[in-house]
Structure 1
Amino acid sequence: MAVSVDLAKGLDKAYEDKTLEEILSASPAALAGVSEADAAALQQAFGIKTVRDLGSNKYFALAGVLVALSNKL
């Protein structure tokens, strides 16, 4: 079964036509609304260099779970 997801609104224009692997390997600045300065701050504060690092960071993952749980209460 093929799955299709439109991520264009969540990505910087330069990454809209990239593969999932290219996006995951890119700087967090590949995400719409995340500037190069934001990406540098994430690297300095948390060692986050890629979108993959951001998505798998334990602090951001926990925050996401907490928000999801709050929506169920």
Structure 2
Amino acid sequence: MALHVTERIASGELAPDTPLPAERRLACEYGVSLGSARHATYLLHSRGFVVTIRSKGTYIARDAQQKAEQRLQTA
């Protein structure tokens, strides 16, 4: 799931400074448990693709598209 979201960021489907869909929505969209969606969000955060703003939500990082493209090229 984290890989697919990374691909969506690299393609521009999930644009910088836009909210990442809520974890519950991601879980439904991908047909996975809420725990799996949370783990994917954690991975995206640890790789610098998303940032969390307290009381606001999780957003695609400004430089996420470039980082995602680079990560996919090296994978």
- Fold in common (TM above 0.5): no
Instruction: Tell me the TM-score range normalised by the shorter chain.
Output: 0.3 to 0.5
Report which of the two has the higher share of helix.
1
Q: TM-score, normalised by structure 2?
A: 0.32
Which structure's CA Rg is the greater one? 1
Report which of the two has the higher share of strand.
2
Q: TM-score, normalised by structure 1?
A: 0.33
